[in-house]
Amino acid sequence: MTISYQLKRADFIFKNQNDWEEVLSKSISRTPQELINELISSELKGRGGAGFPTGLKWKLTAEISDSTKYVICNADEGEPGTFKDREILSMVPFKVLTGMAVCGYVIGAKEGYIYLRGEYFFLLPELNKIIREFEYYCKEIKFDFTIRIFMGSGAYICGEETALFESMEGKRGEPRNKPPYPSNYGYMGKPTVINNVETLAHTYTIFKYGAKRFYDLGVQYSRGSKLFSVSGDTPKPGIYELELGMSLADFVEEFGDGDTKAVQVGGASGFLVPRKRFNETAIGFQGKLVGISLPTGGSMMLFNSSRSMFNVLDNYLEFFREESCGQCTPCRVGCQQLLKGIKAVKRGEKNTKYLDKLLRLTETMKLTAKCGLGQSVANSFSSIVENFREEMIY
């Protein structure tokens, strides 16, 4: 099936943030219910990759009665091939802070935290300065909201929301069992909204222009625009804001180098799409609209024919083996088994049927791993092994 959506550029995120004072004061003059409705009708979904409806998230947290709640901005941008949050935080930080403050207003939280990736330490001085300015304005308009930055220490797993809470609480960064979800039991056991940097920046757009402006972009189930971090074998790597719902074929047409063999959508935990499926793959959240829709946190890695898919997979598995927190069996041992397994097949120590065993193993990991990391290893593994089996063997 061919998808007819064209690639459409958008320009909201990085556009002028100078009216943040107005957006903030205007937003908090509305009722929380109005703001939630605005978000829900925009159909904004989480931009970190998982795609949970943002309005619903705020609504659920707002409905819990508790005198202490938190807003957390997840800036632990660790997915390989993603570099958009860094750009947002250095170009339009006020949009993010405004999004956090409005969220605080909606759910009844007075404290916000930015969990900043350890490697983004260089952003800290400037961000702190901006936060001071922001808090000063909040005080001026008698709006009680403070923001603190919490520095991560370089663990990929701490981008998982519950591991992030643990890390902030001074514990080892390990995902918790879910449920309970953050809306009930988040940071310090309190109701918490945790949103990706980009999600918060989009709420700014929605509160500024209204839900319709946002809703009109994209396609059904995947509304709005999204930042894409384009890397790999492309003549124009960088960050691009595009409407959701485009076909991968159009994307490759625009960004490929003419020899694109495959695209990894969504980073190491995402899916690899081979050339023969470009036409039937759309970039967006799962819906019933078209063939395959792939969600993504924005990482788009292009590979041309000079790349060995074995090396790509080997690289990903090495990454997961290192970055698994190690608490649950399927992920701790499974990742290592997958890595050793493909190497053994490549060296001829195991016959090729072993690949099928490994595929079954990834199925079990998907079913039993405790958090998204262990569950999503299956994505890249099976999509690479199934589509480039010969490269795994020869």
Partner 1 sequence: MEMINLTIDHKPVVVRKGATVLEAASGIGIDIPTLCYMKLEDMNIENKPGGCRVCVVEVKGRRNLAPACCTEASEGMEISTHSIRVVNARRTVVELILSDHPADCLICAKSGNCDLQDMANHLGIRKIHYQGEHSMYREDTSPAIIREINKCIMCRRCETMCNDVQTIGVLSAVNRGFQAVVSPAFEMNLDHSVCTYCGQCVAVCPTGALTEVDETGAVIRALSDPTKTVIVQTAPAVRAALGEEFGMTAGTLVTGKMVAALRRLGFDYVFDTDFAADLTILEEGTELLNRLSAFMAGDQQVKLPILTSCCPAWVKFFEHHFPELKDIPSTARSPQQMFGSIAKTYFADKIKVKRENLVVVSIMPCLAKKYESSRPEFSVNGNPDVDYALTTRELAHLINLGNIDFKSLQNEDFDAPMGESTGAGVIFGTTGGVIEAAVRTAYEIFTGKQLPRLDFEELRGMEGLRKATIDFNGTPINIGIAHGLGNARKLLEEIQAGTSEFHAIEIMSCPGGCIGGGGQPYHHGDSEILKKRQRAIYSEDQNKSIRKSHENPYITKLYEEFLGAPLSEKSHHLLHTKYFDRS
Using CB under 8 A as the criterion, which residues of the chain lie in contact with partner 1 when the complex forms? 155, 157, 172, 174, 177, 179, 320-330, 332-337, 339-341, 344, 357-358, 360-361, 364, 366-370, 375
Output the smallest distance, CB 285 to partner 1, in A: 15
Output the smallest distance, CB 139 to partner 1, in A: 39
Nearer Cβ to partner 1 (130/344) = 344
Output the smallest distance, CB 382 to partner 1, in A: 15
Output the smallest distance, CB 371 to partner 1, in A: 10
Output the smallest distance, CB 73 to partner 1, in A: 24
Nearer Cβ to partner 1 (229/375) = 375
Q: Alpha helix locations (H) across the chain?
A: 20-27, 32-42, 54-63, 84-91, 93-107, 124-140, 161-168, 197-209, 211-215, 248-255, 309-323, 329-346, 354-368, 372-387, 389-393
**Residue 277 contacts residue 312 (beta carbons within 8 Å):** no
Cα angle: 327, vertex 331, 336; to 5 degrees: 115
Half-sphere exposure of 137 (CA within 13 A, CB side): 17
Q: Report CA-CA distances (Å) from 43 to 73, 112, 214, 266, 310.
A: 20, 24, 8, 21, 38
Nearer Cβ to partner 1 (34/356) = 356
Place of tokens 């039993």: 368
The CA-to-CA distance between both ends of the chain, in Å, stands at 32
Half-sphere exposure of 252 (CA within 13 A, CB side): 26
Output the smallest distance, CB 180 to partner 1, in A: 8
Output the smallest distance, CB 373 to partner 1, in A: 10
Nearer Cβ to partner 1 (332/389) = 332
Beta-carbon count within 10 A of 391 CB = 17
Q: Distance between CA 193 and CA 249 in Å, rounded?
A: 36
Cα angle: 219, vertex 59, 34; to 5 degrees: 80
Mapping DSSP to helix (H, G, I), strand (E, B) and coil, where does residue 251 land?
Answer: helix
Nearer Cβ to partner 1 (117/321) = 321
Output the smallest distance, CB 166 to partner 1, in A: 12
Mapping DSSP to helix (H, G, I), strand (E, B) and coil, where does residue 162 land?
Answer: helix
